[in-house]
A and B are shown apart, each in its own frame.
Chain A
Amino acid sequence: QKEVEQNSGPLSVPEGAIASLNCTYSDRVSQSFFWYRQYSGKSPELIMSIYSNGDKEDGRFTAQLNKASQYVSLLIRDSQPSDSATYLCAVRSGGYQKVTFGTGTKLQVIP
């Protein structure tokens, strides 16, 4: 079992719709959770971090964490073509705070 799993996609949504990206992780003692956006050929950039159960909203983005189910998700409201990218889920855990990345979900927002 991979430590951090994401559906590779592509996930296609029409412009203006809600995009829902999902991630599961295997280490029950994981402490911190991150969503990065990566445009093709570019470096990952942090868009959301979440540390406790529940929802965290930042503009059009909402991160949701359920530690009991070992599940973290990212919702993008009013999706725009500029949101088209690969979204990486990352989980931090362990004594030396190892960060493990999922393989990413490719999102395509169709105009």
Chain B
Amino acid sequence: DADVTQTPRNRITKTGKRIMLECSQTKGHDRMYWYRQDPGLGLRLIYYSFDVKDINKGEISDGYSVSRQAQAKFSLSLESAIPNQTALYFCATRQGDETQYFGPGTRLLVL
């Protein structure tokens, strides 16, 4: 089984809908991250969490919210999706000074 899983892998939704992207990890890492990737813009950090009680905004948090339900689970919500949130979304985990490990990604299309 993969160490970092994301669901769904692909999602098509309409403008104004609320959607949730989920991330689970079996690595036992304390830190979890949500990134979005757009062509030409690279990976940009949306939110990150150092433990269940610690949630921090990244560089592009507007329009997004997160929930760290447990050490192993970190969910990203789009309260009212808009077309410019169409992107590839990655969850990542890290323990201390170790490197980051990425999930397989969720491809989101907002119509």
- Chain A interface (Cβ within 8 Å of chain B)? 8, 32, 34, 41-46, 49, 88, 90, 96-99, 101-104
**Could you say which residues of chain A place their CB within 8 Å of the CB of B88?**
41
Contact in complex: B40, A101 (CB < 8 Å): no
Given that A43-B90, A43-B105 are known contacts, is A103 also in contact with B100, CB under 8 Å in the complex?
no
- Chain B interface (Cβ within 8 Å of chain A)? 40-43, 45, 50, 56, 88, 90, 97, 99-105, 107
Contact in complex: B42, A104 (CB < 8 Å): yes
Q: Chain B binding site: helix, strand, loop or mixed by DSSP?
A: strand
Chain A min CB distance to B11 (Å): 15
Most chain B CB inside 10 Å of its own CB: which residue of A43, A46, A104: A43
Given that A43-B90, A97-B97 are known contacts, is A103 also in contact with B102, CB under 8 Å in the complex?
no
Contact in complex: A8, B99 (CB < 8 Å): no
**Could you say which residues of chain A place their CB within 8 Å of the CB of B107?**
41
Known: A88-B43, A103-B41. 13 other contacts (CB 8 A): A8-B40, A41-B107, A43-B102, A43-B103, A43-B104, A46-B99, A46-B100, A46-B101, A49-B99, A90-B100, A96-B50, A99-B45, A104-B42
Q: Which residue of A lies closest to B38 (CB)?
A: A103
**Could you say which residues of chain A place their CB within 8 Å of the CB of B105?**
41-43
Contact in complex: B42, A88 (CB < 8 Å): yes
**Could you say which residues of chain B place their CB within 8 Å of the CB of A43?**
90, 102-105
**Could you say which residues of chain B place their CB within 8 Å of the CB of A104?**
42
Q: Which residue of A lies closest to B105 (CB)?
A: A43
Contact in complex: A101, B102 (CB < 8 Å): no
Inter-chain CA distance A41–B87, complex, in Å, is 11
